[in-house]
Structure 1
Amino acid sequence: MSFDQLSSMESGNGNGRRSNNGAYADDPEFSRLSQSLMNKLFHLQGNMSKLKSDIGLLGTKRDNPRLRERVHAALEESTEQFKEVGEGVKKIQSWEDVTPTQKYSQQKLSREFKAALGEFQSLQRTALEKQRASVTAAKAALDPNSPTGAEGEAVAIEGGLLQLQEQEQAHLAPQDEVDFQDALITEREEEIRQIEEGVGDLNVLFQQVAQIVSEQGEQIQTIESNAINVRDDTRGADYELRSAARYQKNARSKACCLLLVLAVIMTIVLLAVFLG
């Protein structure tokens, strides 16, 4: 029997409704929610592909304020979307009395969500590292005691190409330039703080979903263990019943033999009395 056939034969238990042919179908609310979450995850995966490309440009010659603004906006938007999807996943995972089809949807959705979230968290960490390197290089460029020579060049290459470009292109007075760079550094530090907050929130969400899935796994193991115990008890009871049936059959056979022997003896005795 195929999985689809098994699903179509599943009896309704509050999460299903009868179709025209008498079979049970999954709860439409569950189906709508799970499909909506899968669509949102698919959309997020497409956004992450573009975000990954943009983050790869940070700290290179193609780095510019517009790129950083786009990366920051994409990180914030994706973070909020992951929070929204995560709440939906928790709701799906907590659905009671699920059918086999719904159970499969739960597992697939949880697997897809954790994979997508793990990829996004990796992008967050990469963006954070590049943002911090950029701020460090910008501060070093404004510090008169910053490293010089090869050491200074290494720091600039690591994350400060954007700041060097901005300094070369700026047509400001020295103090105005310093103020401008300070404002940029402050803005970058605020972006770093917001990204860190998003990382923390998504870590909590990831742990919550993982805990729910773990608890469901324990429940499944308990149900499976109980089913095995019931099976073993049923087999034991069947063996005992068969043994009792055989015992009763043997007892009846012995009783019939005994009655037959007694009948023969009585017949012999009666014959002896009448003929004597």
Structure 2
Amino acid sequence: MSFDQLSSLESQPTTMRRQDDPQYSDDPEFQRLSQELMTKLFTLTGNISRLSNEIALLGTKRDTERVRERVHDLLEESKDTFKEVGEGVKKIQSWEDVSPSQKYTQQKLAREFQNNLQEFQSVQRLALEKQRTSATAARSALEESQSPGTEGTSPFGQQQAQEQLRLASQDEVDFQDSLIVEREAEIRNIEQGVTELNELFRDVAHIVTEQGEMLDDIASNVENTRNDTQGADRELRSAARYQKNARSKACCLLLILAVILTIVILAAVVG
């Protein structure tokens, strides 16, 4: 590198050099996606906490349609967000040529996603159990209210009372029946969400397991390379010692030959 090139490089702003140098800056797209996923995971943590509080009200005196509506909305919102985050985590896990810091981010995102999803699935199952219990109790109560009574002093008076009761309560029966249908539909919806998130959890776990095996292979290759390098270094050192000893022996032989040659020459001159 010439002096002019060196001066030009040093005159560039530090931030520009850091953007061009991969050891100072990670992939901007990777960083943007990972930050977006972490933000959504934080939101999901809050949703799970609120869901737990709302589900605790189901089946109690504070159980209202408004509570059930909030539970439904939070379940749907969280389920959709988990799907988005799951796809993002799978994309992050398949990122190529990652740096050590990016590898740490991959592992952290996968771990946080799996932990949050497991907690959400527990909340889902609790909501499903309470919805089933509530629907069963409501169905039983509705069937009992529709069964004819046996009280009355005369058949005519009993029949007339039953007819008036039937007409007066028909609207309420229809309303209760529609609520039961809605709850049963909600049960099916929660069951479907549980199944979908189970598949997503398995997909991410499979990718993480494959990456773990890949890391094990890389670590094994690095270890083998290190062992091979150490063996080669030992062999080189041994060869260097052998070569040094060979040079020393050659020098000794040359010295002996020179002495013998000198003696022979002197003897010839004297003789």
Instruction: Give me the TM-score of the superposition, normalised by structure 1.
Output: 0.80
The residue aligned with 1:200 is 195
Tell me what 1:93 maps to: 93
The answer as to whether partners of 1:54 and 1:67 remain within 8 angstroms in 2 is: yes
Once the two structures are TM-superposed, the CA of residue 174 in structure 1 deviates from its matched residue by 3.7
Query: How many angstroms apart in 1 are the aligned matches of 2:50 and 2:269?
Result: 116
Q: RMSD of aligned C-alpha atoms?
A: 2.1
Cα distance in 2 for residues equivalent to 1:20 and 1:72: 46
Q: Distance in 2 between matches of 1:232 and 1:202?
A: 45
Partner of 1:4: none
Question: In the alignment, which residue of structure 2 is the partner of 1:258?
Answer: 253
1:177 to 155, 172, 183: 172
1:21 Cα deviation (Å)? 8.6
CA distance in 2, matches of 1:71, 1:20: 46
State whether structure 2 residue 208 is matched by structure 1 residue 213. yes
Whole-angstrom CA distance in 1 between matches of 2:236 and 2:143 = 91
Give deviations 1:50-69, integer Å, cap 9, x for gaps.
Answer: 11100001011101111111
Q: Which residue of 2 aligns with 1:267?
A: 262
Residue aligning to 2:241 = 246
Q: Distance in 2 between matches of 1:70 and 1:172?
A: 34
Identify the residue that residue 115 of structure 2 maps to in structure 1: 115
SS of structure 2 residue aligned to 1:96: coil
1:71 equivalenced with 2:66 (yes/no)? no
1:41–1:85 contact (8 Å) kept in structure 2? yes
User: What SS is found at the alignment partner of 1:97?
Assistant: coil
Work out the number of aligned pairs and report it.
235
2:223 equivalent to 1:223: no
Alignment check: 8 A CA contact 1:54 1:71 kept: yes
Shift in alpha-carbon separation, 1:198–1:18, aligned structure 2, 3 A: farther
Cα deviation, residue 247, structure 1: 0.5
Larger radius of gyration, structure 1 or 2? Answer: 2
Mean Cα deviation higher: 67-76 or 133-142: 133-142
Q: In structure 2, give the amino acid aligned to 1:179.
A: D
* Residues 22-61 of structure 1 deviation map (CA, whole Å, 9 limit, x = unaligned): 5530111111111111111111111221111000010111
Query: Aligned in 2, Cα 1:109/1:260: closer, same or farther, shift over 3 Å?
Result: same
**For the residues of structure 2 that align with 1:247 and 1:121, how far apart are their CA atoms?**
69
Change in 2 beyond 3 A, CA 1:20/1:34: closer
Q: Which residue of 2 aligns with 1:49?
A: 49
Contact map agreement 1:41 1:113 (CA 8 A) in 2: yes
> C-alpha distance in 1, partners of 2:48/2:66?
18
2:55 touches 2:127 (CA, 8 Å); kept in 1? Answer: yes
Distance across 1 between alignment mates of 2:115 and 2:267: 98
Identity %: 69
How far apart in 2 are the matches of 1:231 and 1:116?
Answer: 39
**What are the ranges of 5 or more consecutive residues in structure 1 without an aligned counterpart?**
1-16, 146-170
Shift of 1:172: 7.8
1:41, 1:116 within 8 Å by CA — same for their partners in 2?
yes
Alignment check: 8 A CA contact 2:30 2:92 kept: yes
Residues in 1 aligned to 2:78 and 2:19: alpha-carbon distance in whole angstroms: 42
Match of 1:39 in 2: 39
Q: Which amino acid aligns with 2:55?
A: I
Deviations 1:209-260 (A, max 9, x none): 1111111111111111111111111111111111111101101111111111
CA contact (8 A) 2:19 2:25 kept: no
Partner of 2:155: none
- Give the Cα separation in 1 of the matches to 2:110 and 2:94: 12
Q: CA deviation at 1:180?
A: 2.7
Tell me how far apart the structure 2 counterparts of residues 106 and 21 of structure 1 sit (CA, whole Å): 23
Deviations 1:62-91 (A, max 9, x none): 011111111111111110111011111111
Cα separation, 1, equivalents of 2:45 and 2:221: 40
